[in-house]
Amino acid sequence: MAAPAPAPSVAAVGPTEAYAVVGNHFCVPYETVLIMKEKMFSLSGKADIRDSQGNLMFRLQGNAFSVSKQKTFFDPNDKPVCTLTSKVFSLHNTTYLCTGDSTDTNGALLMAKKIILSFTPVLNVFLKGNTSDNPDIVLQGSFIHHQFDISTSKGVKLARVERELFSAQELLGSQSYAIRIMPNVDMALILGLVTMADDIFVDAKHHHHHHHHHGVRVGVGI
């Protein structure tokens, strides 16, 4: 039997209809590029996340003192969109995305698991209701260098994170990278996943340096 002709690479194609997890209204019919800055997540204040046109898209409130490394995303009107949280004793291998400012992991929209044994780092994402071992979304690439792909397990491309050199917008001492979100894909979902990857693969590298400082403050009412 003749070998079938190679199929065109599916991963280059985005979803044909809205791929919504956090909300339908975060899906738009054109590509969106969100500009991220390294170290923006280590701040306790609110960080603004803008698109490549300079429009304010989301605001991020991180709590540097929370043991679960909780972070909440807000829309430009300061309405909570979704919250990133992890169970304190899960060894940082499982992170959850909850709706609004909820931290109830039982009702989480999704759960992300770091795959440690693979040659390239992988983050497997299981949407609510998926109890199988097969993830719905896979993040793969170089998380440390902010060069990775986000696609469904069926090979539909959702987004790509890549280093960009924004000469005009470059803030001194702050490296930028871009999240290119395919048309029809939930922007809040992708932003949450990229932040998770940042927490798990990038921050974890620096985390142990600060760890002893945190323990002192955990019980203090901040």
pLDDT digits 0-9 by tens, 44-98: 567 899 999 999 999 998 766 666 678 999 999 999 999 999 876 655 578 999 9
Evaluate whether 31 touches 47 at the Cβ level (below 8 Å): no
Q: What is the mean pLDDT of residues 142-160?
A: 93
User: How far is 95 from 160, CA to CA, in rounded Å?
Assistant: 20
User: How far is 87 from 95, CA to CA, in rounded Å?
Assistant: 7
Amino acid at 33: V
User: How far is 122 from 114, CA to CA, in rounded Å?
Assistant: 6
pTM: 0.81
